[in-house]
Structure 1
């Protein structure tokens, strides 16, 4: 049984570790399918490098998960919620949404309609994010301390990255043998199969399992259709605005990106004085949609801006490199099969080693030491691609660069998740973690949209040098971040 009490050496129940590893698998499976693997598919279908860079903006959608995260804490999916509880209801609904979205994305090949491909990718990104929001809030509530968070985070990211890397590798191998449609339909079926063990978990809710599943599936079908309509309408509006502003594949989008990226920092800084003047009781009684976020700025004040700047920089290199790493390696002459095998063998092992090491050290070392080491390793992983580009075509060289990149990403990801989990208020765990983890990728993913244009102008080597240097830039803010202490309610 998933909820068993057998404990491992970490002191955390083994069943709990298995559960969060499973949730990591469910969330990690689709990630590459709407990001790096999709960029490689687009390149193979003749889409230009600048436009491929624009597709990185699909990953912007998860950064806004704080807008709907409070819903997960307060409202459940009809049918599922009564039997499985609020968070598990969203986990089950998200699994169905993920499977449907992957299947739809499979059928958009050969990407003759790029708006349609982007629409399906956005739907997949949304449902993947919903799953993460529900699982993250539950994790923080179950284990509010660093000693327990380290092992659980490691298990969760271990499942996440193993599924992410294995899916990426498997898709490329299958695509090389049977084409892109089959390559996407296989993980769609696997995502649907992941629904089963969670649905069979014993719960103490009301009603029967069968009636809960039937009602939940019906409600989820309506939810998936409603979300698709909203995403389609928003996408059409954005395309109309881009056309009005005459923004296309040849446009210099950097000034727009920098302006948009700075806007939230300026808006939040302007609001902090008014938030800080309010009493703790007034903040606590704020309405649900904004209360968790007012609480964060009330507790940290202007230091919150430094915290947000730090989290924005910390994963910058990873996000930028992810956008173009696969098209870059393919441009060097490596085949889909070679790339897929490197991901399946080296990347998976290296990523798991990085996650395990990061989770272990996060539970034992001071936060400053692990965060600094994570930034350094992530930067070195980016620089490994510069070395690969200067090296003769060689499978061992591909494996070495892939291993360095994935170990650094896994280590930095584990310690970063633990750090974010410890600075949120447990009373608003889902919402505040969603806000911080989403904001952490807002600036990187905005800039990633211009990555293709930058690489096309300055070359891949300059791009990976820049991305690695940005990872290291987080070290400049680390001393200020470590000295931040939240204000206590009186």
Structure 2
């Protein structure tokens, strides 16, 4: 029996009783939350395959650091995905939409594309044609970013209010696990194929084939899920409209509504810069570890073990910070922690090969990055205040957040080559300053008081 709500002595209704730990845990076992969890894994899996894991492959193939740094540009689709997000909101995919529904049809279709593009990348040889590798990686990023758009829309529309917080936590945790599987997990698999007698190039090819097969986890999840009720209602409401009108309403409404807000441009600049410190250092972390003299297995073992634990603990810590403090204060905590963590790599560069130091540096990076990510997702979610445009607005915001990872960090390899590893990671701390200055300005302008509750 639940306790009845009781009015306080001041006449103001008392807050409803907080759920017990059993009730809090039970929400994570709800079918809709579990669906979101597995879709989060599917979203996190492909990112490293065109990013850090590919950079290790290229470094082992003898590609120079300057070219490796430029490969951050293959993440361009993540920064431009808002351009085709209205198409996903408005258009149908032949056969897939009819067979699976508006959101699930796009989900299955994007995952089929993702498998095909990862298999194409698996056939590449970085030592012979960096251009072919870049084109294949660009296609992987395009299919992956399309999947992200659909998963975000599905997540928003399928979870009721009581499951939104659990869904967000599950999604972020599973996303990070998916990234770890495609980094450390992929490196272990490649080493296993090499140990079985395959050449290094063949081992990398089959490692990517295995990663393509793991996308099927998301496909099976999409097939087992049910179409969100909100999506079905939206489909019924716009059924009589032409495809052009639906696309126009989705695109124009999302942009005009957001840009009409106070300090919208400053908020967008903050979205671009908040994770830049993380992206600038993360672009070169794997090449740094290899250059320092650690083996591929050393790096993989620490990322897979200690790194995974630090990521999960950091995710819970980020959730605690977001609940305990205001959104602005949480962003301060996350922003400072993820910047200062880069100094652990400067320290590692000075002392040289040391397994414990590598474990500490990787742990610090994963722990603080997870805290920053959870808080940042909460902020992006709070910016999406209009449910009519949530999917397109969220795609816009996440695309802008990828600018730091894609464009601003593309010169990281040249900076590392020019100043050396210890100074490079110290510079990674400094690049966090612009975002903190913007945070100060937005806070003084009352920006955070205008935001609604977190919906995602």
Report the count of equivalent residues: 402
Aligned position for 2:132? 116
Instruction: Write the deviation string for residues 21-57 of structure 1: whole angstroms up to 9, x where unpaired.
Output: 1111101111111001111111111111111111000
Q: Which residue of 1 aligns with 2:5?
A: none
CA distance in 2 between partners of 1:347 and 1:314 (Å)? 22
Tell me which of 430, 436, 448 is aligned to 1:469. Answer: 430
Partner of 1:311: 271
Where does residue 396 of structure 1 map in the other structure?
356
Q: What CA distance in whole angstroms lies between the structure 2 residues aligned with 1:285 and 1:98?
A: 24
Q: List per-residue Cα deviations over 1:50-103 (Å, max 9, x = no partner).
A: 111110001122111110011121123222223432222111111111111111
2:349, 2:191 → 1: CA distance?
A: 23
Q: Residue 58 of structure 2 contacts residue 127 of structure 2 at CA under 8 Å; is this kept in 1?
A: yes
> How far does the alpha carbon of each residue in 1:352-378 deviate from its partner, in whole angstroms, 9 at most, with x for none?
111222134324431112111111221
- Which structure 2 segments of 5+ residues have no match? 1-21, 194-202, 230-245
Question: CA 1:444–1:110 in structure 2 vs 1: closer, same or farther (change >3 Å)?
Answer: closer
Residues 149/203 of structure 1: CA separation in 2 closer, same or farther (3 Å cut): closer
* Structure 2 Cα separation of the partners of residues 198 and 138 of structure 1: 10
* Cα distance, 1:486 vs structure 2: 5.5
Spell out the pairing of 1:63-462 with structure 2 (5 A cutoff): 63-142=79-158, 149-178=164-193, 179-201=203-225, 287-298=249-260, 300-301=261-262, 303-424=263-384, 425-462=386-423
- TM-score calculated relative to the size of structure 1: 0.77
Residue 230 of structure 1 aligns with which residue? none
1:395 and 1:156 map into 2 onto residues whose CA distance is 31
How many angstroms apart in 1 are the aligned matches of 2:434 and 2:328? 15
Separation in structure 1 between the aligned mates of residue 287 and residue 126 of structure 2, nearest angstrom: 17
Shift of 1:340: 0.7
Kindly tell me: are residues 171 and 59 of structure 1, through their superposed partners in 2, closer, same or farther at Cα, counting changes over 3 Å?
A: same
RMSD: 2.5
In the alignment, the residues of structure 2 paired with residue 487 and residue 158 of structure 1 have an alpha-carbon distance, to the nearest angstrom, of 25
The one of 20, 41, 55 aligned to 2:57: 41
Which whole-Å CA distance do the structure 1 matches of 2:414 and 2:247 have between them? 47
Q: TM-score, normalised by structure 2?
A: 0.82
The offset of 1:421, in angstroms, is 0.7
Tell me, yes or no, if the aligned pair for 1:149 and 1:363 is still in contact at 8 Å.
Answer: no
User: In terms of mean alpha carbon deviation, does 160-169 or 73-82 score higher?
Assistant: 73-82
Q: Which deviations, in whole Å up to 9, do the C-alpha atoms of 1:126-159 show, x marking residues without a partner?
A: 11111111111233345697x8543322100111
How far, CA to CA, are the matches of 1:297 and 1:408 in structure 2? 31
Q: 1:151 to 1:474 in 2, by over 3 A?
A: farther
Aligned 8 A contact 2:37 2:170 in 1: yes
For 1:428 and 1:203, the matched residues in 2 are separated by 19
**Number of the residue aligned with 1:212:** none
Cα distance in 2 for partners of 1:415, 1:144 equals 21
Greater Cα shift, 465-474 or 169-178: 465-474
Q: Give structure 1 stretches of 5+ with no counterpart.
A: 1-5, 206-283
The verdict on how the C-alpha distance between 1:309 and 1:110 changes in structure 2, with shifts beyond 3 A counting, is closer
Q: Deviations over 1:226-276 (max 9, x none)?
A: xxxxxxxxxxxxxxxxxxxxxxxxxxxxxxxxxxxxxxxxxxxxxxxxxxx
Given that 1:379 and 1:468 are in contact with CA atoms closer than 8 Å, whether structure 2 keeps it comes out as yes
Checking the alignment, whether the CA contact within 8 Å between 2:27 and 2:33 is kept in structure 1 is no
Distance 2:149 2:99 in 1: 20
Instruction: Between 419-428 and 189-198, report the one with greater CA deviation.
Output: 189-198
Q: Is 2:75–2:406's contact at 8 Å kept on the other side of the alignment?
A: yes
Q: Is the CA contact (8 Å cut-off) linking 2:277 and 2:428 kept in structure 1? A: yes
Could you say if the C-alpha distance between residues 92 and 487 of structure 1 is closer, same or farther in structure 2, counting changes exceeding 3 Å? Answer: closer
